[in-house]
């Protein structure tokens, strides 16, 4: 076992917890159950205890229960149909409220009982019991009544960019089911590889499953490849094996067969399916390729034959058809595509894509299946029974729910686990973005813009793990955990029970369990160095913290070097002398086994107050001047040189709701009111680029094309009015902009309302 001992890490904390009576124990359970009540006494699991399941249908679950006891306590109990002594009893009971996945777990002195209306509920009750047993053989008296908040609780794995063997796919499903996820989204086809055996089209795997090399890191221009052939595919028998394995763990697999875009691997195998002659090859780079399936009868014949075999392999309700990132250039230039548009009265290539998806949807619906597609399938009109997976922010999901369509929320801003988890300088190579653990935990799948009836269409949420830069199982696990633990609580636990501080107290126990499984999780980084620091005095106080108290230590340096196991140990807030210049503070969390978190670093410097501006306050009007640009300018910094399409007034630094979907910019100018002297932190949380300046001084640089991430900068300001400029650019995909201000030691507030003013033209 890696890390601290389980007894120390999994001790029960005697404190109140959200949604429970104050007197109950704060148990180390993730995700947190719907209802937990502490009972008197406890039950000691001894070698004489049995697993009892009177119903013969529960024999597999009884064997699973014995497996869990053996894994946690080191010995295997007997399984019986009845017992007069101490036992863990499994029973189907219709009186259990909460739906098919609900369960009741009762711990009393004479034994433990788990009751549920369906077998999946018993399975989830056993996952809770496993976490209780991890603390030792003595289980406190409890009454747990539990059921999930959402019916769809998903995790995705892209095996097209990098192929992963069957054994790792099974391990992935094991880890999902342990934390009560019930849907595995298996991304099987893309430009870089076709991973599923289709017997009618053998070239899909003999050619489409292999690329001659892979781009090295991000060497796009000029391109540089590694010269190493990469590929692989799953035989149909292997797929059936994985499907059976998942079903035993109550996980449904949603296969994804991309169309009409991301088709390069298929076109390399069958070039006649394209609108041009090619030649095509399995793509060795990343991004979005112009060549997509042509909307010909040959293409539909091919796709329907492929989907017929997919249906035979995957018994679940849903088939994912992609639908994202399909450039229309080839269709615009294709006589065949244009003739299809004229024949069916389609006015745009977006409507042609909608017609394409609707035709596939009719084929699948006639065979008892439903389609899921990324939110681009909204463009041009949505297929009647389609479920939308909203990835470009929440807007696509909101629009679909308002139209009466089911929705799975999976926005890049919170649930793309291929994004970095901390400072990119110290993180493994990734696609970009920054999605730290607190952001995942804070995600709310149901937008406030929906009515109660519309909100019922939000089926749940899903984490997506794309593998352009993930080549090994260890790298996948590093990106998955501990963020998957946070998401498990988002999709399972009651909304009112979610509490970040409570989750942090339970996190060490959950990570200790992953230690025992040998999971290569990311050690959470130090808290307290989220941005550079400024001080108005000669000494700055820096306070550091870890999410793993008692299981780790913090070590730091003040000279810019990376801390190691010999660096000073943090014990109390640091008094940093900054009178003579900038000091670089770097810190890491070290585990008992020597593993360490990625570094966190921040500069601390002495500063002075920036004087307020002299302004004719009688002329001031509320809000900021807002220039709106409809152009693809590439960066926020370029907006000042562009010509706005319109000018208005905004009462907040945020999206105004009237912008077009892509390729626009916003430039806010005016004054920010500062109530008193002090050091102020400004934060821009945006997808894509944003910048903030006070006067001529840039305070926040969050520029560039990226998914939603937050960047904070500090400036010392005297009380009064200060010129402010905020620039934002949206290039593609999701769009979001939020701005905050916080005086050191005070509460964070939105940059809005009475804080903002400008002089009229």
Cis amide bond preceding 31, omega within 30: yes
> How many whole angstroms separate alpha carbon 392 and alpha carbon 414?
11
**Given the residues 67, 119, 325, 423, the one annotated as active site:** 325
**Given the residues 190, 324, 468, 708, the one annotated as active site:** 190
Of 373, 285, 364, whose CA–CA distance to 325 is shortest? Answer: 373
Q: If 0-12 CB within 10 Å is exposed, 13-18 middle and 19+ buried, where does residue 740 land?
A: middle
**Which residue is it, tokens 């920036």?**
610
583's tokens: 């000091």
Residue 262 is among the residues annotated as catalytic for this protein: yes
Beta-carbon contacts of 5 under 8 Å, excluding residues fewer than 6 positions away, are none
Beta-carbon contacts of 614 under 8 Å, excluding residues fewer than 6 positions away, are none
Of 315, 309, 305, whose CA–CA distance to 254 is shortest? Answer: 315
> How many whole angstroms separate alpha carbon 41 and alpha carbon 32?
22
681's tokens: 């932190």
In which element (H, E) is residue 737 found?
Answer: strand 736-743
> How many whole angstroms separate alpha carbon 444 and alpha carbon 317?
25
The dihedrals phi and psi of 618, each to the nearest 5 degrees, come to -65, -25
In which element (H, E) is residue 304 found?
Answer: helix 297-313
> How many whole angstroms separate alpha carbon 269 and alpha carbon 261?
15
Neighbours of 284 (CB within 10 A): 17
57-69 core/surface letters (b: 16 or more CB in 10 A; e: else): ebeebbebbbebb
Give me the torsion for CA of 457, 319, 234, 471, rounded to 10°.
-40
Secondary structure string (H, E, C) spanning 71-104 = HHHCCCCEEECCCCCCEEEEEECCCCCCCCCCEE
Interstrand relation of 183-187 and 252-259 (parallel, antiparallel or unpaired): parallel
Secondary structure string (H, E, C) spanning 321-363 = EECCCCCCHHHHHCHHHHHHHHHCCCCCHHHHHHHHHHHHHHH
> How many residues comprise the chain?
761
> How many whole angstroms separate alpha carbon 274 and alpha carbon 294?
5
Of 435, 396, 234, whose CA–CA distance to 735 is shortest? Answer: 396
> How many whole angstroms separate alpha carbon 51 and alpha carbon 675?
66
**Given the residues 185, 262, 414, 419, the one annotated as active site:** 262
**Which residue is it, tokens 């490849």?**
225
> How many whole angstroms separate alpha carbon 645 and alpha carbon 625?
14
> How many whole angstroms separate alpha carbon 687 and alpha carbon 689?
6
106's tokens: 């009762």
Tell me 188's DSSP state.
Answer: -
Q: CB-hemisphere CA count at 13 Å for 243?
A: 17
Q: Any idea which residues carry the catalytic annotation?
A: 190, 262, 325
């Amino acid at each position: 076992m890696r890390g601290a001992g389980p007894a120390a890490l999994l001790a029960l904390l005697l404190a109140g917890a959200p949604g429970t009576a104050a007197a109950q124990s704060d148990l180390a359970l993730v995700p947190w159950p719907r209802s937990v009540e502490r009972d008197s006494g406890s039950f000691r699991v001894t070698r004489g205890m049995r697993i009892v399941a009177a119903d013969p249908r529960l024999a597999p679950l009884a064997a699973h229960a014995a497996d869990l006891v053996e894994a946690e306590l080191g010995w295997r109990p007997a399984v019986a149909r009845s017992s007069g002594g101490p036992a863990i009893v499994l029973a189907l009971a219709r009186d259990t409220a909460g739906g098919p996945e609900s369960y009741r777990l009762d711990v009393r002195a004479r034994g433990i009982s788990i009751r549920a209306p369906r077998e999946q509920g018993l399975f989830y009750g056993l996952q809770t019991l496993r976490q209780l047993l991890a603390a030792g053989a003595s289980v406190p008296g409890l009454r747990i009544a539990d059921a999930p908040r959402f019916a769809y609780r998903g995790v995705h794995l892209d095996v097209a960019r990098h192929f992963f063997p069957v054994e790792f796919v099974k391990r992935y499903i094991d880890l999902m089911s342990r934390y009560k996820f019930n849907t595995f989204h298996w991304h099987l086809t893309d430009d870089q590889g076709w991973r599923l055996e289709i017997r009618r089209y053998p070239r899909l795997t003999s050619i489409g499953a292999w690329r001659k090399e892979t781009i090295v890191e991000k060497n796009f221009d000029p391109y540089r490849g590694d010269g190493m052939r990469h590929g692989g595919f799953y035989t149909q028998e292997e797929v059936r094996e994985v499907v059976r394995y998942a079903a035993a763990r109550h996980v449904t697999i949603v296969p994804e067969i991309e169309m009409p875009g991301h088709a390069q691997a298929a076109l390399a195998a069958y070039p006649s399916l394209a609108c041009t002659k090619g030649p095509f090859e399995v793509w060795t780079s990343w991004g979005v390729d112009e060549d997509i399936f042509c909307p010909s009868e040959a293409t539909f014949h091919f796709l329907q034959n492929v989907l017929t075999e997919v249906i035979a392999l995957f018994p679940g309700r849903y088939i994912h058809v992609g639908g994202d990132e399909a450039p229309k250039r080839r269709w615009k230039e294709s006589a065949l595509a244009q003739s299809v548009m004229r024949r069916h009265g389609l006015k745009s290539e977006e409507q042609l894509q909608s017609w394409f998806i609707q035709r596939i949807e009719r084929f699948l619906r006639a065979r008892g299946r439903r389609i899921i597609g990324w939110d681009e399938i909204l463009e041009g009109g949505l297929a009647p029974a389609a479920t939308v997976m909203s990835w470009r922010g929440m807007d696509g999901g909101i629009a679909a729910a308002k139209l009466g369509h089911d929705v799975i929320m999976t926005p890049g801003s919170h649930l793309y686990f291929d994004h970095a988890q901390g400072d990119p300088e110290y993180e493994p190579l990734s696609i970009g973005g920054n999605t730290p653990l607190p952001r995942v935990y804070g995600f709310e799948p149901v937008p406030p813009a929906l009515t109660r009836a519309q909100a019922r269409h939000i089926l749940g949420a899903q984490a997506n793990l794309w593998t352009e830069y993930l080549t090994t199982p260890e790298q996948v696990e590093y990106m998955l955990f501990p963020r998957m633990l946070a998401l498990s609580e988002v999709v399972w636990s009651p909304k009112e029970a979610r509490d970040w501080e409570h989750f942090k107290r339970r996190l060490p126990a959950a990570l200790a369990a992953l230690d025992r499984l040998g999971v290569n999780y990311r050690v959470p980084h130090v808290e307290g160095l989220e941005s550079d620091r400024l001080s108005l005095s000669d000494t700055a106080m820096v306070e550091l913290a870890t999410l793993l108290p008692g299981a780790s230590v913090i070590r730091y340096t003040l000279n810019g070097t990376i801390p190691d196991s010999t660096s000073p140990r943090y014990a109390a807030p640091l008094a940093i002398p900054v009178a003579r210049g900038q000091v670089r503070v770097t810190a890491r969390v070290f585990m008992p086994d020597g593993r360490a978190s990625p570094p966190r670093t921040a500069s601390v410097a002495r500063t002075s107050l920036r004087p307020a501006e002299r302004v004719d306050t009688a002329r001031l009007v509320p809000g900021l001047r807002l220039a709106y640009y409809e152009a693809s300018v590439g960066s926020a910094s370029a907006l000042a040189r562009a010509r706005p399409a319109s000018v208005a007034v905004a009462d907040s630094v945020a999206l105004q709701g009237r912008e077009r979907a892509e390729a626009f910019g916003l430039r806010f100018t005016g004054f920010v009111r500062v109530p008193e002297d002090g050091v102020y932190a400004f934060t821009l949380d945006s997808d894509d680029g944003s910048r903030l300046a006070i006067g001529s001084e840039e305070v926040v640089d969050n520029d560039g094309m990226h998914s939603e991430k937050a960047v904070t900068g500090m400036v010392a300001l005297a009380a009064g009015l200060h010129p402010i400029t905020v620039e934002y650019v949206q290039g593609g995909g999701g769009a979001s902009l939020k701005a905050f201000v916080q005086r050191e030691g005070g509460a964070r507030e939105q940059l809005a309302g009475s804080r903002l003013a400008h002089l009229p033209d």
